[in-house]
Structure 1
Amino acid sequence: MNTLTTKQGIGTKVQLCTMMFMQYMLSAVWWVPLAAYLSHTLRLEVYQVSLVLSAMAIGAMASSFIGAIADRYFAAEKILAVLNILTGVFLLLAAQQISFVPLMTCVVLAMLCHMPTQSLTSTIAMSHTPSEQFPRIRMFGSVGWVASGIFSVIALHVMHLSAFDDTNLPMYCGAAICFVAALLNLRLPHTPPSVDKRAGISVMDITGFSAFSLMKDKNYRAFMILTFLAIIPFNLYHVYGSMILADEHVQNITVTLNLGQLAEMFFLVITTSILIKSGIKNTLIFGMIALVVRYASFYIGAETGLQWFYYIGIIVHGLIFGLFFVGGQVYTDNVAPKEMKAQAQGLLFFLVWGIGFLIGTLWNGWLIGLFRDGDKCNWPIVFAISTVFSFILLILFVFLFKPVALKTDK
């Protein structure tokens, strides 16, 4: 009996890891090079690039709506499959657009379907494994993100195409992965609604703001506000990274940016140990320190012309995302009551990856446009502003965030 239970447990973990692998591979293959495609191939204005890239934030705002629906009416794995199919359809349409309005419309629709899947995958994973073990499962999302670079390698070095990252081919690849992922989603362990649908649903539930009661706790309130602000400097790299490297004439943009995910794989493996041994506060502070290091490195690289400083800033992505943002997901799951865990994750995505990310996308786009002259941006000034902003947030975290120890499953 114990052997059977063990085999079932291993099988479930394999399914969850595969889910994360596919979900983040389909994100990376088309999103990572998108800014370079928009600015260097389609030659859109900077403000148009910013508006198209704001699709991720708009989609994140829908995640709390999906969370509320999943909590009451449908199995999470079924919703995940449907959303992946719709994302694939809209990516196919987006790949065929060359003008701003129809392209933005298709990308926004794709992200409205795709972004809620990130909180859904977190909910599914945490429903079938202890929350402090979640970073090790989430690590396979990083593996998938890195593996997305294989499409670029095959296109350039096997098929001998002249270009890949700054074309519409990544969108076609993303659509194909979506359809495969949707089929695999139907085999995931059943994750039923956690709230009785007879309990009814309100506007607060639809928006995910019924989980806003968590903000009554001063430490969670400090965490949410500071995380909301931290996404703004983080956004500069996450959204405009391919534009930055294209300006620096870096070849194989996707592969280069995926070095950050390689590092992320390692740090997600040890995030659980760091959370348990160092506590949630120190874990988040370590991530914030890495954010400061990133933009300080980018500043030095842009100021001196030494590209290897950019690689330092790229590699610490694993520390920033693994320790700060994934650590924040674990903290949210830890403090949220069982009946609102999905909504709590949705609320986190709505405020941070939705509103905060939208502000970050527009702010950083405005900043780039302000200091851009022709085809070149004055990146040292942009990076200096982001470094100072990140340092101020680090200091605030040290003094304002004082959480209790995480609850762990023994």
Structure 2
Amino acid sequence: MDFIKSRLSLMMFLQYAVWGIWLPVLATYLQSPVANGGLGFTSGQVGLIIGVAGSIGAVSAPFIAGQFADRYFSTEKFLAVLLVLGGTVKITLAFQESFSAWLLLATLYSVLYMPTLSLTNSMAFAHLQNSEKEFPRVRVWGTIGWIAASWLFPMIWLQSNLEFQILPPFFVGTEVPDATARLADTLKVSGCIAYLYAGFCFLLPHTPPKKDSVEKLAFKKAFRLFSHRSFAVLVAASLPIAVIHQIYFMQTGPFFENQLGMLVTYIAPAMTVGQFAEIGFLAVLGGLLLRLGFKWTITLGALAYFARYAIWGLISLQDASGPSVDAAGQFVWTTPLMIGVFSQILHGLCYACFFASAFMYVDRIADADIRNSAQTVFGIIILGVGPMIAGPTLGILGNVFGEAGVVTNFAGMWFTLATIALLTAALVVFAFKDETKNETNE
């Protein structure tokens, strides 16, 4: 790997380590009772903080990145500024206890962080000679960074008397008494990583601004893709999937802890099963598309969402488990917990077959001069509007399937999400038709 690709790979590692260290456990920290070290927020409030606040950043990101980085500042310097500001906000968040402060600062952080995702992608594309071949190899380091952060923090800070074992999670120990309260420290560490990353930005390849006079026209033209029935159907199918995808990040932590008895220490490492699977399924996605075509590959992704949530609903029908520990306080596997954790392998199938394929289809159906804008439009709808709907949706689920606004009937919630996924799969089967010139098998 040459020097440029090495720097871009480290950039991706840090980019997603900043995110992956806190997102898997945030809902657990926010929703856990104050007596247990959490903040005691309702499911609806958690939905607003993770869903709505995040969606505002996703919607504003293309305009911030496009209007400033692309036109007036070099990408690496603007990236450094956003990281310093975002890191400061993240550290400040760690000391907040009120919902209003959390919602305000989480929204501000989202506005600062989300543009960095597109900036790192655009920088990588600008400096890779064969981006189609080389970008996946660079981007995979982002997933590795997410996994590393999710594993190292709980190993170092949430456990004592750490020992190695052959079975996952490989390194086990005794959970510290204040483990839930210590989850706030993920925000502080994230901020520190962001500062380190900001300094590293000045070692990244120089990427000067470029003014594109036709961008506004291309952006408007991209909306004309709705005249294609397949694009309209794809958006209609992607919105509900985006909603239930976001709720995964909002409720998996509380589900693992409160229903399956997982210790807080192991929530983030357990959720990385999905990231490991994502790497594998993305590697074979090209072959799946050649064999199945876009229609059936996307359908397979929707059915994977159905299968995962249906499985989680089934294992939630029994009474909630106590902590999964032995008499010595060491982690032990129970059958429901093992099923819940390893069924996350379907997460890789969900993401690769549905979202990655959907973005590839948009790139295929759009004319060459509007492909970037088409991806932006689709991204705003899926990454912005979808999570925005997910927030109040979780609030409704908390009221219907919970007590005091907090989900307690996980079976009811997961079966509801499974039904949405199944209906979405049916929509793709009966309404979607591949309109690309070089159609793959239907």
TM-score (norm 1): 0.86
Q: Quick check: which has more Rg, 1 or 2?
A: 2
Match of 1:179 among 179, 185, 195: 195
d(CA) in 1 for partners of 2:362, 2:280: 22
d(CA) in 2 for partners of 1:380, 1:280: 32
Contact 1:239 1:361 in 2 (8 A): no
d(CA) in 1 for partners of 2:8, 2:437: 27
Is residue 310 of structure 2 the alignment partner of residue 296 of structure 1? Answer: yes
CA deviation map 1:6-31 (0-9, x unaligned) = x6xx4443333322222121111112
TM-score (norm 2): 0.80
d(CA) in 2 for partners of 1:16, 1:144: 13
d(CA) in 2 for partners of 1:176, 1:338: 40
Contact 2:310 2:415 in 1 (8 A): yes
**1:215–1:242 Cα change, 3 Å:** same
Match of 2:340 among 303, 307, 310: 310
Contact 2:44 2:394 in 1 (8 A): no
CA drift at 1:134: 4.2
CA drift at 1:368: 2.1
d(CA) in 2 for partners of 1:110, 1:370: 31
**1:32–1:332 Cα change, 3 Å:** same
Name the amino acid aligned to 1:96. Answer: F
d(CA) in 1 for partners of 2:282, 2:3: 21
Match of 1:241 among 249, 252, 257: 252
Matching residue of 2:278? 264
d(CA) in 1 for partners of 2:365, 2:125: 13
Matching residue of 1:28? 20
Name the amino acid aligned to 2:232. Answer: R
Name the amino acid aligned to 2:159. Answer: H
d(CA) in 2 for partners of 1:364, 1:209: 33
**1:158–1:213 Cα change, 3 Å:** farther
Contact 1:291 1:390 in 2 (8 A): yes
**1:406–1:287 Cα change, 3 Å:** farther
Matching residue of 1:3? none
Q: Which runs of 5+ in 1 are unaligned?
A: 1-6
Matching residue of 1:214? 225
Match of 1:330 among 352, 357, 360: 360
**1:361–1:177 Cα change, 3 Å:** same
CA drift at 1:276: 4.8
Map 1:4-403 → 2, pairs under 5 A = 10-40=2-32, 41-53=38-50, 54-69=52-67, 70-127=69-126, 128=128, 129-131=130-132, 134-149=135-150, 150-157=152-159, 161-164=176-179, 166=181, 167-193=183-209, 195-196=211-212, 199=213, 211-248=222-259, 249-251=261-263, 252-276=266-290, 278-304=292-318, 306-337=336-367, 339-373=369-403, 377-403=408-434
Contact 2:46 2:391 in 1 (8 A): no
Contact 2:54 2:384 in 1 (8 A): yes
* Bigger share in helix: 1
Q: Which runs of 5+ in 2 are unaligned?
A: 33-37, 162-174, 320-335
Q: Percent identity?
A: 28
**1:240–1:405 Cα change, 3 Å:** farther
CA drift at 1:59: 1.1
- RMSD between superposed Cα atoms in Å: 2.8
CA drift at 1:215: 2.7
**1:13–1:278 Cα change, 3 Å:** farther
Name the amino acid aligned to 2:231. Answer: Y
**1:192–1:210 Cα change, 3 Å:** farther
**1:231–1:176 Cα change, 3 Å:** same
**1:224–1:189 Cα change, 3 Å:** farther
CA drift at 1:338: 5.2
Contact 1:29 1:148 in 2 (8 A): yes
Contact 2:240 2:420 in 1 (8 A): no
d(CA) in 1 for partners of 2:233, 2:208: 32
d(CA) in 2 for partners of 1:365, 1:288: 23
d(CA) in 2 for partners of 1:172, 1:291: 33
CA deviation map 1:346-366 (0-9, x unaligned) = 322311111111101220232
